[in-house]
């Protein structure tokens, strides 16, 4: 089972990201579960969502305690939430930031993990460029397909087409592809 | 068709295929997505001849359902938490009049302190309201059991609540085999009401009954519920014949046969429990579980059969009867009262407190070692409780405990002026 925990703030699409990731996994005929952990649902409040992906039916409903992949949509959460809690020893960390691992002051985390497992991607900037709004969620889903083989970029594109239509879908797909390329180059 | 779909959306689709003729609803988290989904489908004309009423309150919602059902319409609504409390007088009326309304309860805690998260306090507040209450384990069951609910309700002429854990199920995206309309049509015949408001053939529904006959009318309510104990498994079997999958009947046993320790619970928590119990069995503990699907009527005989051979029963429930302990535990004890079985009452998951494999394992091991106090509060921080009790004793005008505890656990900062 591959477990994902997504940290962000209200209005960044943390819950939608988890839903789309589960739809992407379903497109690959895998079992997947996305569960939001709603806090007080205000814009800007810390929000967490969980995704599990497996080849067999998933019955667990506990929060994801030991993620294989962490998606951090807002690095300012480092100061208020223990986002790295329980991260698997060979886990991945995808961070929405234009800054480097050293600049983000998380070299210590990166050193505990295999090389290239902590990847910052300037998702907000990519979202502003492609979508005209600072919503990093679909961008980061594109990026994650460059980190692991668990989900393919084409499946994320299918999930985007499932959630959005028309020009909005096309713009999100372009953003996801750009993020995939950026993460691969990182 | 298999779909990756939100639990609420799957329920809305299933309910729509049952062709309700009146839906009256008022939004409240976490059930709102269900009636929003149905509202959209009705507006698109996907639900046939259905009227969707945006009413002014939950009391209005249930009252509208009563009127519509009494006039012979297949009727649906949904609620949660305080919404259930606000409609409560009408909830009793619906069952007292024998109206086969189906209502989803997106299970949520009842405040204060205000809390939007999952537990069973709302359904439990209506446990004696003479509705049938069916608890579901996952979103496949959530979709399937709504289809069964209409047929059960209309067969026995009683209203049915389908109780699904808020957020954990209502907001979860999982794989669901969304029923096909043709299958639903084959399973669910058109509604033939037992009683209809008809100006040409007037009847009194809800007549006043005095001491000379009230007990007999109440006995009949009890008798009708017990009839459902036969109807529910019959419908479950018929559902399996039509849809090709088992979506549960009165209860479901998970390796409970012959187990010395059996956990009894309801709802979605069984999903997390199963892996803990499998690990404990592999390590040599004789332990299994029973998940109760039909809470009302309570499946006394089926439970006794499922627990045959158990020496110790651990009842885990997400609700609390303040002043005594577990509610489900009380029902289980009543069902087993003449049997030499030790029954533990465990209360957990209140207000959305996460229930994890780790904390379940610790609790089950305590149970196996006879270390559970009565009742046992699962995963509770007694240090916080003790500090608050101390403060209440020593501080002049101590103020509200809820706010004080939020400060203690660090969720609210700043000083309070006294």
What ipTM was reported for this prediction?
0.95
Q: A36: domain range?
A: 2-185
**pLDDT tens track for A134-176:** 999 999 999 999 999 999 999 999 999 999 999 999 999 999 9
Q: What's A67's domain CATH number?
A: 3.40.920.10
376-395 of B, contacting A, C-beta below 8 A: none
Residue A38 has pLDDT above 80, yes or no: no
pLDDT for A186 equals: 76
Using an 8 Å CB-CB cutoff, list chain B residues near A32. Answer: 4, 173-175
In the predicted structure, residue B304 carries a pLDDT above the cut 60? yes
Computed on alpha carbons and rounded to an integer, the radius of gyration of chain A in Å comes to: 15
Percent of chain B having pLDDT more than 90?
96
Interface of A with B (CB under 8 A): 15, 18-19, 22-23, 25-26, 31-38, 57-63, 65
Chain B residues closer than 8 Å to A63 by CB:
354, 356
- The residue of chain B nearest to residue A41, with distances taken between CA atoms, is B116
Minimal Cβ distance to B272: which of A31, A57, A61: A61
Per-residue model confidence (pLDDT) at position A37:
83
Domain count, chain A: 1
Q: Is pLDDT above 90 for B367?
A: yes
> Is residue B124 predicted with pLDDT exceeding 70?
yes
Per-residue pLDDT tens over the stretch A88-146: 999 999 999 999 999 999 999 999 999 999 999 999 999 999 999 999 999 999 999 99
Q: Å from A129 to nearest chain B CA? A: 30
Q: State pTM to two decimals.
A: 0.96
Cβ of B173 within 8 Å of Cβ of A22? The answer is yes
pLDDT for res A81: 86
**Whether residue A71 has pLDDT greater than 90:** yes
Fold of B251-377: Rossmann fold (3.40.50)
What DSSP string runs through A72-136? ES-GGGGGTS-TTTT--TT-EEEEE-SS-TTTTT-HHHHHHS-TT-EEEE-HHHHHHHHHSS---
State the average pLDDT for chain B. 96
pLDDT more than 90, % of chain A: 89
Please state, in angstroms and rounded to a whole number, the distance separating the CA atoms of residues B143 and A152. Answer: 30
CA distance B105 to B46: 23
Q: Does domain B2-197+207-243 have CATH number 3.40.50.970?
A: yes
Q: Which of residues 270-299 of B touch A (CB under 8 A)?
A: 271-272, 274-275
Q: Which pLDDT does position B417 carry in this prediction?
A: 44
B167 touches chain A (CB under 8 A): yes
Q: In this structure, what token pair is assigned to residue A121?
A: 């991607």
Q: Please list, residue by residue across B374-392, b when 16 or more beta carbons sit within 10 angstroms of its beta carbon and e when fewer do.
A: ebbbbbeeeeeeeebeeee
Residue of A nearest to B358 (CA): A62
| Residue A39, pLDDT score | 61
User: Is the confidence at residue A83, as pLDDT, over 80?
Assistant: yes
- Domain residue ranges of chain B, discontinuous segments joined by +: 2-197+207-243, 251-377, 390-418
Pick the residue with more confidence: B418 or A186?
A186
pLDDT at residue A180 is higher than 80: yes
Angstrom distance (rounded) from CA B133 to CA B136? 10
Residue A15: band (very low, low, confident or very high) from pLDDT cuts 50, 70, 90? very high
Contact A32 B173 (CB under 8 A): yes
Above 60 in pLDDT, residue B418? no
Please indicate whether, in this complex, the C-beta atoms of B4 and A26 are within 8 angstroms of each other. Answer: yes
Q: Please check whether the two domains, B2-197+207-243 and B251-377, share a CATH topology.
A: yes
Query: Which of chain B's residues have a Cβ under 8 Å away from the Cβ of A22?
Result: 4, 173-174
**Residue-averaged pLDDT of chain A:** 94
């Amino acid at each position: 089972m591959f477990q994902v925990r997504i940290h962000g703030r209200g209005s960044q699409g943390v819950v939608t990201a988890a839903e789309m990731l589960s739809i992407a996994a379903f497109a690959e005929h895998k079992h997947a579960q996305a569960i939001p952990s709603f806090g007080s649902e205000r814009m800007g409040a810390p929000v967490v969502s969980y995704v599990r992906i497996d080849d067999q039916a998933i019955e667990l409903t506990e929060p994801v305690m030991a993620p294989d992949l962490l998606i951090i949509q807002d690095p300012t959460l480092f100061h208020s939430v223990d986002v790295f809690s329980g991260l698997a020893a060979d886990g991945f960390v995808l961070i929405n930031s234009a800054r480097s691992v050293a600049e983000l002051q998380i070299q210590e985390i990166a050193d505990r993990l295999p090389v290239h497992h902590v990847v910052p991607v300037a998702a907000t900037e990519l979202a502003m460029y492609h979508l005209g709004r600072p919503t990093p969620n679909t961008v980061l889903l594109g990026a994650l397909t460059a980190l692991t083989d668990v989900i393919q970029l084409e499946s994320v594109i299918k999930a985007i087409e499932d959630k959005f239509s028309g020009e909005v879908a096309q713009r999100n797909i372009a953003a996801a592809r750009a993020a995939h390329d950026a993460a691969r180059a990182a | 068709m298999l779909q990756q779909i939100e639990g609420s959306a799957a329920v809305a689709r299933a309910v729509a295929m049952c062709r309700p003729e009146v839906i009256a609803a008022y939004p409240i988290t976490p059930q709102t997505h269900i009636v929003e989904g149905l509202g959209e489908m009705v507006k698109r004309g996907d639900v046939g001849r259905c009227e969707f009423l945006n009413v002014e309150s939950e009391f209005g919602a249930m009252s509208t359902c009563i009127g519509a059902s009494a006039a012979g319409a297949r009727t649906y609504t949904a609620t949660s938490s305080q919404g259930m409390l606000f409609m409560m007088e009408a909830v009793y009326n619906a069952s007292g009049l024998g109206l086969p309304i189906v209502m989803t309860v997106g299970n949520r805690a009842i405040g204060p302190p205000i809390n939007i998260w999952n537990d069973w306090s709302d359904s439990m507040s209506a446990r004696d309201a003479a509705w049938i209450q069916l608890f579901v384990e996952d979103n496949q069951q959530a979709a399937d059991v709504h289809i069964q609910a209409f047929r059960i309700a209309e067969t026995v002429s009683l209203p049915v609540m389908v109780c699904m854990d808020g957020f954990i199920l209502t907001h979860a995206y999982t794989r669901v085999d969304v029923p096909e309309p043709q299958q639903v049509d084959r399973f669910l015949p058109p509604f033939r009401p037992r009683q209809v408001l008809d100006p040409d053939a007037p009847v009194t529904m809800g007549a006043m009954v005095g001491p000379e006959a009230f007990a007999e009318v109440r006995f009949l309510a009890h008798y009708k519920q017990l009839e459902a104990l036969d109807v529910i498994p019959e419908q479950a079997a018929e559902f399996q014949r039509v849809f090709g999958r088992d979506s549960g009947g009165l209860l479901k046993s998970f390796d409970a046969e012959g187990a010395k320790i059996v956990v009894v619970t309801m709802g979605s928590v069984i999903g997390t429990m199963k892996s803990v119990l499998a690990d404990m069995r592999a390590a040599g503990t004789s332990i299994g579980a029973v998940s109760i699907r039909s809470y009302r009527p309570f499946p006394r005989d089926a439970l006794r059969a499922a627990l045959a051979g158990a020496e110790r029963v651990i009842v885990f429930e997400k609700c609390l009867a303040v002043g005594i302990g577990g509610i489900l535990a009380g029902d289980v004890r009543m069902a087993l009262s003449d049997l030499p079985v030790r029954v533990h009452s465990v209360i957990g998951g209140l207000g959305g407190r996460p229930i994890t494999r780790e904390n379940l394992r610790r609790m089950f091991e305590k149970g196996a070692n006879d270390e559970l106090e009565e009742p046992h509060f699962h995963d509770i921080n007694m240090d916080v409780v003790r500090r608050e009790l101390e403060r209440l004793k020593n501080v002049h005008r101590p103020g509200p405990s809820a706010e004080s505890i939020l400060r203690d656990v660090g969720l609210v900062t700043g000083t309070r002026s006294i």
